[in-house]
Amino acid sequence: MSAPTMQTVMDLIDGRTDELVALAQDLIRFPTINPPGEAYRPCAEYIGERLKKRGFTVEYVRGEGSPGDSDQYPRTNVIARWTGSEPGPCVHFNSHIDVVEVGAGWTVDPFGGEVKDSRVYGRGACDMKGGLAASIIAVEALIDSGLPLPGALEISGTVDEESGGYGGVAYLAERGWFSEPKVNHVIIPEPLNVDRVCIGHRGVWWAEIETKGRIAHGSMPFLGDSAIRHMGAVMEEFESKLYPAMAARHSDMPVVPEGARQSTMNINSIHGGQAEGFDGLPAPCVADSSRMIIDRRFLIEETLEDVKGEVKAILDGLAAQRHGFRYEMRDLFQVAPSMADRDGPVASTTAAAIETVLGRKAQFVCSPGTYDQKHVDRIGKLKDCIAYGPGVLDLAHQPDEWVGIDDMTNSAKVMARAAYDLLTRKRG
Ligand SMILES: [Zn+2]
């Protein structure tokens, strides 16, 4: 028998396509819907039991006291570690096990794991149980190949990514699970397409802006002060000043799609005056309050302070010029942008593995929205983290979500190669 090589690993992965599909199907069949956080524990235990049999040390960590955690809906995370023959670095594959609600428009059973036209269908197939299955097959093939492996390989299945990751990666990162020296390189198999390395994401700031008015009879609006007209003035300033300023800012972040390569702001909602949802006739009143929720996405070149300051300056400007203008602004949520070095170990090694496996150059991208990399970066202080996985980004959260079987196999090969290179590379 000849000594094992990387080809041995590739052949093992090719020979395990059925197993990879079955694993993805099994994972999809756990309806891990978030909110509220269904079936987290059985799904985490399924992963843990499988890896325990392969010699992994398995730990379950409940995100106790995190948002949504209860005995009915425990935030159960699983972390499995396999230790190699000699000391060395640790490569960690982190996948979230939660999925978003099903929504309308499905033609297949969302939790059936149906296979059709070389695809596996189901909620979470693409985002991201296909990626989780591929990373497990990749790591198992590396171990089974008999290639000498220094260091350690870790696989985690974590919860609540879709609702911010506070009971999942954030909780674990606060307790040292995503920091050196325990972990050195992290790959998150989110669905960013099989030939792209995602090095980071933009920042987020959500805020509520409220303009104040004074109630009066609607037939004599001059006796009151309309909060809705004040909000209209805010909108005008946004249109004439803020949107053009944001559009003029361009980023070095390779965000996809192209339209997200600048600062953006969505006005998530706007309300004023009487509450909606009442079928009868309204009473004639001048609105004394109007509220707007903004979703501002910002670039690595901007600071959160500047982003907030820019909006505040517009509101303060109105307060100085416009008679009766009063406002309040409340922060709802914020995430700093994150970007790994594309020449760093995990990004460059994964890009090289893509080129070898697929025969084409890898593309470096950033995600328009955020994912758990933020917690690995900010809380774990671990910069060498990327997202790489099978699945077409645009299919995430859609009805009839699917993941391609070839993409899962190819990404498993890329992950195995990248992990091996990271474990055995010479350190400077
Ligand atoms: Zn995801």
Q: How far is the CA of 82 from the centre of ligand 1 (A)?
A: 25
- Cα 402 to Cα 49, 121, 133, distances in angstroms: 26, 4, 14
Ligand 1 center from residue 2 Cα (angstroms): 41
Cis status, amide bond into 244, omega within 30 of 0: no
Dist CA 147 CA 150 (whole Å): 10
**176-190 mean pLDDT:** 98
Question: How many angstroms separate the alpha carbon of residue 104 from the centre of ligand 1?
Answer: 19
Which residues are paired to 165 by β-bridges? none
pLDDT of 427 above 90: no
Give 230 Cα–ligand 1 centroid separation in angstroms.
39
Give residue 426's pLDDT: 78
Which pLDDT score, from 0 to 100, does residue 279 have? 85
pLDDT value, residue 330: 98
How far is ligand 1, taken at its centre, from the CA of residue 247, in Å?
28
Summarised one tens digit per residue, pLDDT across range 116-171 is: 999 999 999 999 999 999 999 999 999 999 999 999 999 999 999 999 999 999 99
* 76 vs 209: CA distance, rounded Å: 36
Rounded distance from Cα 323 to ligand 1 centre (Å): 47
| Ligand 1 centroid, distance to 145 Cα (angstroms) | 30
Q: Is the pLDDT of residue 428 over 70?
A: no
Please give the distance, rounded to the nearest whole angstrom, from the Cα atom of residue 96 to the centre of ligand 1: 7
Distance 191 CA to ligand 1 centre (A): 7
The b/e string for 194-217 (b: 16+ C-beta within 10 A; e otherwise) is: bbbbbbbbbbbbbbebbbbbebbe
Ligand 1 centroid distance, CA of 306 (Å): 29
pLDDT of residue 394: 87
Confidence of residue 250 (pLDDT cuts 50, 70, 90): confident
